[in-house]
């Protein structure tokens, strides 16, 4: 399914903050090889390249649309189209960074040890994933899937809980890592516009559901989801909408 870089970038600033928070927790002074897994349009990759200006920086993504948007701005970054689940670096990595990407992949019990194995001695795996799937934004999405004639087609795409709780990632990585830091943060995004949570989810979790529908049925599904979401996230007196959003972070360091 093609990604829409313009729609995804509509909330670039609130989506950037968790990436910067994750980056600040990485203890790596002079890495040689830095990889941004699921780099999207490359806005975070360019910040990684600024922080580690002596490193070879690579942006890895499976979407040709996202990589086309990323490479439109000239830089020294190498852009690589690859399925992250199968990806391996040419040589062991010093920093593997992934911001809001790995939730799209299944099999985290295999994926996370696989990524950790790609690190050089002393290397760091740093990951941020949305963990907001218990919130109304995603619960209403699941309810809307079940509420219409599209249920059979959309149910396999809904991926209700793609991110596990923190103890799962602790159990997967603590036997491998020399140090492991896991935490969660809930951001309170202040959004503008009419029913803006719908626009937010259209750039991410809602996308595969809408892509599976055509014409009038797609509009009917979107209208039903929009109606339900408006009740869950009403605008405040100033017209702005508060959108609490929880994210899971981990930083795992390999022994030397």
Structure tokens at 116: 């950790």
CB atoms within 10 A of CB 9: 15
Rounded-to-integer distance, Cα 221 and Cα 181, Å: 40
Average pLDDT per run of 10 along the chain, which is 256 residues long?
A: 48 80 95 97 94 96 93 94 94 97 96 98 98 95 95 92 97 98 97 94 91 94 96 96 97 97
- Sorted by sequence, the CB contacts under 8 Å of residue 3 that are 6+ apart come out as 40, 63, 65, 66, 207
Nearest to 79 by CA among 138, 119, 135, 35: 35
User: Is CATH 3.10.20.600 the right assignment for the domain spanning 5-253?
Assistant: no
In contact, 54 and 118? CB cutoff 8 Å: no
Query: Which pLDDT score is estimated for 1?
Result: 46
- Sorted by sequence, the CB contacts under 8 Å of residue 12 that are 6+ apart come out as 43
CB atoms within 10 A of CB 30: 8
Torsion region of 62: left, alpha or beta (phi above 0 gives left; psi -120 to 50 gives alpha): alpha
Query: Which pLDDT score is estimated for 9?
Result: 47
Query: pTM of this prediction?
Result: 0.90
Rounded-to-integer distance, Cα 115 and Cα 88, Å: 8
Distances 21 to 70, 102, 195, 203 between C-alpha atoms, Å: 22, 17, 27, 22
Nearest to 58 by CA among 30, 28, 103, 91: 91
DSSP E strand stretches across the chain: 33-37, 56-61, 78-81, 93-99, 119-130, 179-191, 241-253
Query: Which pLDDT score is estimated for 8?
Result: 43
Query: Which pLDDT score is estimated for 3?
Result: 44
Rounded-to-integer distance, Cα 100 and Cα 195, Å: 23
Query: What is the DSSP annotation of 157-220?
Result: G--S--S--HHHHHHHHTTT-SEEEEEEEEEEEEE-SSSHHHHHHHTTTTHHHHHT--HHHHHH
Nearest to 54 by CA among 26, 25, 95, 19: 95
Query: Which pLDDT score is estimated for 2?
Result: 52
């Amino acid at each position: 399914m093609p990604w829409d870089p313009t729609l995804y970038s509509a909330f670039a600033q609130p989506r950037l903050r968790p990436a910067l928070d994750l980056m600040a927790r990485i203890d790596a002074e002079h890495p040689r090889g830095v990889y941004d897994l699921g780099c999207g349009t490359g806005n975070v990759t360019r910040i990684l390249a600024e922080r580690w200006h002596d490193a070879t920086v690579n942006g890895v993504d499976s979407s040709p649309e996202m990589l086309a948007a990323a490479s439109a701005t000239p830089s020294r970054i190498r852009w690589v189209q690859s399925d992250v689940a199968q990806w391996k670096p040419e040589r062991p990595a010093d920093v593997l960074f992934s911001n809001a990407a790995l939730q799209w992949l299944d099999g985290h019990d295999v994926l996370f040890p696989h990524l950790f194995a790609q690190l050089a001695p002393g290397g760091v795996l740093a990951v941020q994933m949305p963990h907001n799937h218990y919130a109304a934004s995603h619960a209403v999405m699941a309810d809307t899937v079940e509420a219409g004639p599209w249920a059979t087609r959309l149910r396999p795409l809904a991926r209700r809980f793609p991110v596990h709780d923190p103890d799962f990632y602790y159990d997967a990585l603590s036997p491998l890592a020399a140090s492991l830091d896991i935490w969660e943060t809930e951001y309170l995004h202040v959004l503008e516009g009419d029913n803006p949570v719908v626009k937010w989810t259209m750039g991410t979790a809602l996308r595969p559901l809408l892509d599976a529908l055509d014409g009038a049925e797609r509009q009917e599904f979107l209208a039903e989801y929009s109606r339900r979401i408006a009740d869950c996230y009403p605008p405040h007196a100033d017209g702005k909408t508060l959108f609490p959003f929880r994210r899971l972070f981990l930083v795992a360091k390999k022994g030397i």
